[in-house]
Structure formats: C-alpha cells, structure tokens
Structure 1
Amino acid sequence: MAVSTVGKKARWWDGDASQRYWMEVVHVENYGQELVAPEESRHDRMHDVRVGDIVLHWVSKKNPKRLKPGVYGASVVAGELQPNAATWDGKPANRIPLTKYKALREPYLLPELRANHQEDILGVLGRLTEDVGRRPKQNVYFPFNRHPTVGLKPNEGYLFKMPRQVIDAVPQLLPDSDWGGFDIPLVAPPVGGRNGVKQRYAGFCADPLLKKAIEMQAVRQAIAHYEAVGYRVEDVGAYRPYDLLAKCGDEERHVEVKGSQGYVQKVILTRNEVTHANDYGPTDLVVVADIQWERHLDGAIDTEDGVISVYPDWRPSPENLKPLSYEYFLD
C-alpha cells in the first residue's frame, strides 16, 4: 500500500480511486446538502474530498431530534471545496456542496452494526493499521473503534474516511439504487447479473471525469464501426440531439451512442433523444458495454474497447420507457 504521511497523519487512500467514501457525523437537524468545517488541522480531511465521492451520514446521539445513532442516508459530492463559504459556531468555515441525498429505507443503527458486522468492521481497522504501520502512531481516520465494554463505537469527530472494504462488507450502509452514485460504480464486486457482472444503467456516473472518458470511448468505437462499413462520420453531439451523423452516398443516418463500464440492461435517455429518434429515420442506437478503464495518479484515465451492440432503425417503444422524473408546473 502506498501511503502518504504528514506527521502522524496517514493518507492511506492516496492513489486508490476506489476509496471514495466518507462518513459525516451529524449533530444537527438537517444534513445531506453540504459538508462544513473550519480551516483547522483536525478538519484537514475536507481538502481530500473529491467530486463524485460518496458521503454517508451518521446521525449521532447528540442530534436535536433524539434519533437513535446510525447511518440514515448518503449523498454525492457535487463540487470542490469552497473556502470560507459557510460558518461554524459563528466563525468562517469551508464548505463542500453535496447532491442527490437519498435516505436508507430503514436507518442502519448502531445495535445492528454491533450484532451483524462488528468483527467485519474492526477487522478492516486492524488490517488497515497494520498496513499503514504505527511507528510513530498514525491516525488513519477510521470511523469506528472498539470500546472495552460496549464493543463497536463511532469515533468522536466530524468527518472520517470510510474504507471501501467496510462498504463491501456492509452494503446495507448505502441506499438501494439501480443507477447513480450509490451502487459502487468505480469498483463493483461480482454479484448477480449476466456472467456475474453487476447490471447497471448506461449514461450516468457520479464521477464527471470518468463519465466523460467512458462516453468518449463509446463514441470512438461507434465511429470506427461506421467508418469500417463505408460511412463518413461526424461527431455532432455537442450541438445536435444525437451523437453521430453518418453518411454514405445519399444515405444519412443519425446515431445515438451510450457507453458503460459494465453489462447494460437499460440506458438513460433524455426527452430530446427520445423525441428525435421517434421523429427522424433512420436512427441507430449504439451501446458499448464492459468498457475497461484505469485511472493514473495524475488523474488521467485510460480506456479500452468494450463490447459494441448496434440497434439499426431504432425507435424507443413506449412500453420500454420508464419515467425517472417529472416536470411539475406550479399553480
């Protein structure tokens, strides 16, 4: 494990893109919209939070509603740290915006964690501290410790690094989701699905850089496919309601392209994409699945060819469309 250290502080997650989880300890009534903490050394983890990271919200026993302590939901990091954009006890504080808050169906409470996963969680802590080393003693920012009498107990503090290994061991800590930021899109463990690959939608990813890299890989493969059979292809996705314009003689085809890291059972379509595909013919749908990728330490992302499927003369049938949101006009 490559570990960067400053004094007694170990950033054991440096260079590992799968370590994208945090746990906020909530003492206030409202949460899920932002992280807020002053510019102090005990809150320096705020500078390690990245766009697309997932923040679990642990409601402490000190909360004003007297809720039982446990994880109540999770949010996606929506933007970079904003210096002095909020207040903390009346003083200037740094702010990180959050989005897509989703509550657990039922809060996962401390007694359940102790009963079902105490040794799993403390086992992760033991292996982590062993890997990092404690010469001198280093803080690994783990959310929990072992209390000598009651067992598993959350640490005192505000923001902790939640290891991916804990999420793997206790998936109940994340909200149920077919798509979006909560289904561990960066490193998905083999679970039910075709060939053991997790089923997920194409067209959405919480990490904007990864999303762009996957989209570009899919477009490159689609262009190569049409050029190989004699079409001249233009990328028009920036200003048209479809991605590629393919021409061969007098024939002109419009192509909608979707890409995904895993097996694709469903794709996300915008209203304009559906309307255009139904109104214009011929329109093709190209789906590129199982795109492999690697993120380097400098943030650059390399991708490899995925599995391409072409649906010629495509029309989005109404029975296969499922609305994910509605527009509501106020009276």
Structure 2
Amino acid sequence: MSVSDIIRSAQRKAAQSGSLRVTVDHLTSEQVAELADATLDWLRLRSGKPSAVREGWMQISAAQAGVLRMWAADESLSEGERQGLRPLRQQIYDLLEEGGLIEKPPGQGSPVQVSPAWDGRAILRKVTRENLGAWMVKCNPSVWDLEGFLDDNGEVIDAWAVQENYRSALMMPGDVVFFWVTGTDRQALTPGVWGVGHVVAPCDWDVRQDVAEDSADNGYWLDRDARLRAFYFAYLELPLLDKPTPRAIIGTDPRLAKLEVLTSPQMGNPQYVSPSEAEALLELVGGPPAAPETHTDKIAIDRFGAGFGDALKNRVVEISAMNAVTEYLQAKGWRCDDVSVQKCGWDITASRDGRERHVEVKGVSGAIPTILLTRNEVVTAQADPDWCLIVVTQALSKQAVHEFDATAAIAASEPYVYRAKLSRY
C-alpha cells in the first residue's frame, strides 16, 4: 500500500467516526509501521546541515521536512485536511523518536534531527492493551549503579524512570515487566534479563527537586545529568533473579528474534514485549513472578492521592492510609483516636505514657511522598509542638510509612495555589 493510500484510508476512517483529526487509531499496526518507515526514508533524503547536537546526524528545517507534502503527493490537501493530519504527524514523529531515529523538539517550526541511514530501521509497533504481553525496562550500569545496589543487598526494584508517552500511559497494575541490563559481554554485569515482576501503580511524576551537590543525594544514579532528566516513573514490584538470563542465550532463541530490546536497543523505556515473547522469556527465566502484594478491598487509582486525583479516588487512598498509620502506631504501643472529622489540623491523636502526638496522615498511590497541606494544617504545624506528619506511599499496594516532624514538613512545603477573593466592582 502506498503512503497516499494509507493517508486516504485513515482520512476515511476518521470521517466515518465523525472526527476531523486523523490519528494512529485510524490505522492498522502494519500501516503505522509502513508510514513511519516511509517518513523516516523521506527525512533522510531531505537536504539539511550537520546536526550540532548529534554527531553524524543531519538537521532538517521544519519547512524542508515537508512530511505532509510527501504523505499526499498524489493529491492536493485543503487547509482543513492539513490541519486534520497534524496529530498523526506528531504521533509518527513520536514513534520515530521513541525508536532513537529522530529528535524533534516541541513546536511547529522546530527542526528535526535525523539519524544516518546506516543506523537502520526500528521495528515500530503500535502497542495496545490487546497486543501487549509484557513490558521491558532497561538499566545501563554506567548510568545507574546496579552493582552498588546489589552490594547493599538490594533485591527489589520499586520504581524506574520511563518516558512520558502513550506507552507508559498504557502501563497498568498487574502488568508483567522484565528488567534488562544493557552493555557488552566484557563488563562485570552480564547483559540480559536480571529481574521480572509487575507494575503496581500507574506511572506518575517524580518530585522535581534540585539535586544537591552531594552525590549521595543522587541515590544509585552515577550520571547526574541523567538523574535530572528522569522525572516520570513506573512504580514496580520487580524482584531481581537469583541467576540472570544472559543476552547471549536470549539472542539465539528463534522465538525472540524480533524482541524489541534486541532489534531496537536505542529505544527508551518502557519497551514492548509481545505475548509470545513474554511466554518465551518467562520460560527462560524460570517461570512467572509471584503475584504482587495487593489489598483486595481497595481499588487502584490513576494519579497521586492527597489532592491530585478526583474526590472519590482520593478518599479511597485516604482511608487506606489512615488504616495503615493506625496499625503502625498501635504496633508501637500508641492508643489512636480518629479526630479527622473535627478539622483540628491533624487526623489522629496518639497517646502513650502520658504523651500525645498529633498526627497528620497523608496517603499517595505512588512511591514518591508528594502531598498537599492545607493552610490550617500548616498553621497547626507551626504552632503545635506535638504535631507530626506521616505519609503512606503506595497506599494501595505495599504501604510504606514515612514519618516527618513539623520542621521537616514545613521546610519542604511551597505555595501550590493561591486564593484570590475578587470583587466584581
């Protein structure tokens, strides 16, 4: 099928669905791959200048790229039709960028950085929930200190940086995910599959705070710039294997000849694993992972709790967090009284041996303790020496409890929204 035929087919399907915007949803997976390959070939043939940001690449101006012109070479497009194709153009650009084949900053007039022809082609797939078998996340040991993590008796990966794109938006609790170590066979950590587990919460934003000069604040990140670029995370329960499965074995299995991490190793996280590939990989690593720890009486939510989701979902997280903190305090000998409905600036009054703690409870579904404090809570924290904050992360799955005193909570707080009481006159 020619490119023009693909475009006409997509326009017809869009019109039949009542949409003026053409997207990849109006194409088959095969048509998406053909259109992406043809677009890449077109860009590589355009005249440009050597890229200033990628050695060996070319920089093509937006005007010179002329992708829409190429897509409809056999017929003229009205302005409305051109506008309708722009979402599809952006999605094809995104696919090529995910494959490490182009770089395109946001904006209609931004130039396109294009990889050389000898970089080959990626096998570009339109991933859907229907054709998904599992996910793959990659670790470069020169960027993230896996060896140091192992030396510290690390056993489970609970969060991993991913790109914020349509793929990460598809990641759902319960999805199987493999942990792949990149590199050469000469390095200390053999490349291949080092872990297998599950997604336990939807992807979400990390706390964007300045990383201190002390390298210890980077955790296991060896590349400071890479850490600063990592702002969107998948939340996982991903145990490392007792014995990794080497890439040399995986690469010789005919069932895995088209495994994306092998055919398109430059693609960012998360990578795609088909159902048949997932079955083959699970066989090689010794079987499926144990089911993640969950709480069957809770529901999963798609954003952070503590004010970042809708009211119903936030309430579910809040109840889960209150129960977790009550159990946590009672195990330490505290008697707990729920005073949350009294709006006194905290949620639990905890008593033990004549002492009181005024505990503000917050819960989030992700692994990062980003929460909202009300004005009343901040005022109470500043004035009440018995006030403290307890945050429950991954409140609907593993439930990790974090304590903060008033000083730490206030120091970490910054204005998020301002109330403006305005007059109409």
Q: What's the TM-score, normalizing by structure 2?
A: 0.33
**Structure of greater relative contact order (alpha carbons < 8 Å, 6+ residues apart):** 1
TM-score, normalised with respect to structure 1? 0.42
Larger radius of gyration: 2
Structure with higher helix content: 2
Structure number with the higher strand fraction is: 1
